[in-house]
Amino acid sequence: MLIDLTRRTALVTGSTQGIGAAIATGLARAGARVGVNGRTGERVEHAIAGMRAEVPHADLVPVVADVATEEGARLAAEALPHVDILVNNLGVFGEADPLKISDDEWRRYFEVNVLAAVRLIRQYLPGMSERGWGRIQNIASDSAVVIPAEMIHYGMSKTALLAVTRGFAKQAAGTGVTVNSVIAGPTHTGGVEQFVYELVDRALPWDEAQRVFMREYRPQSLLQRLIEPEEIAHMVVYLASEQASATTGGALRVDGGYVDSILP
């Protein structure tokens, strides 16, 4: 399938590392002009240098802003006033005793994982609708469906993001704008690699360590390995394309079969 995103501008939030960086690189490889977002100029420039090493022709725009805040959303709009493809990837995660999580921590997860996406959708959806074309994607998680006991606060925020997606897809009905969620399964990122080695023998080589982790802690995965960030990016690039024009309001899984369901 030939995906051509030339003449399209994308913004990927939280794109200096991990899944976000892979998504930004994938969109740039398909020809899109991509806003690379992070909270500091140093992190953003370092990420852009890495992406240009992979995609020398990439058209990348630094978007230095904490988009989990109203001020950050405003700064993002100043850097990229016209966006055709919005990927709300920014998120925080972590385990905690559900009986000891403070109200402030619950609010922080909702603010970063849900309201940040809502603000940017409100900001960019009107322009997309007026132009008759747009793609909005919210990066969710298997934890939205299979709520982990040790991450109830995180799972709650990702479940809310699925609801936000479906609601805004209805708001965009008939405009040529699609709104979808991508449910990412257990993915190989730096943070997750550290998390794995907190649970399994640090002496194990990585390939073996992740398989032990999946077997003992994520046995419902059919893939039986962690997903690579580029595998999430492939779905995002497809959903950003002309070929995905009839897919909207959906929650599409790239979870390695982790969620035990025959429906999305």
Bridge partner residues of 34 (DSSP): 10, 60
| 154 carries an active-site annotation | yes
Cα–Cα distance measured from residue 258 to residue 69, given in angstroms and rounded to the nearest whole number: 32
Q: Are 166 and 248 in contact (CB under 8 A)?
A: no
Q: Are 72 and 51 in contact (CB under 8 A)?
A: no
What the block records as the tokens of 68 is: 């989990």
Q: Of 109, 154, 197, 238, which one is the catalytic site residue?
A: 154
Cα–Cα distance measured from residue 169 to residue 72, given in angstroms and rounded to the nearest whole number: 24
Question: Among candidates 251, 185, 206, which has minimal Cα distance to 19?
Answer: 185
- Counting beta carbons within 10 angstroms of the beta carbon of residue 12, is it exposed (0 to 12), middle (13 to 18) or buried (19 or more)? buried
**Catalytic residue set:** 154
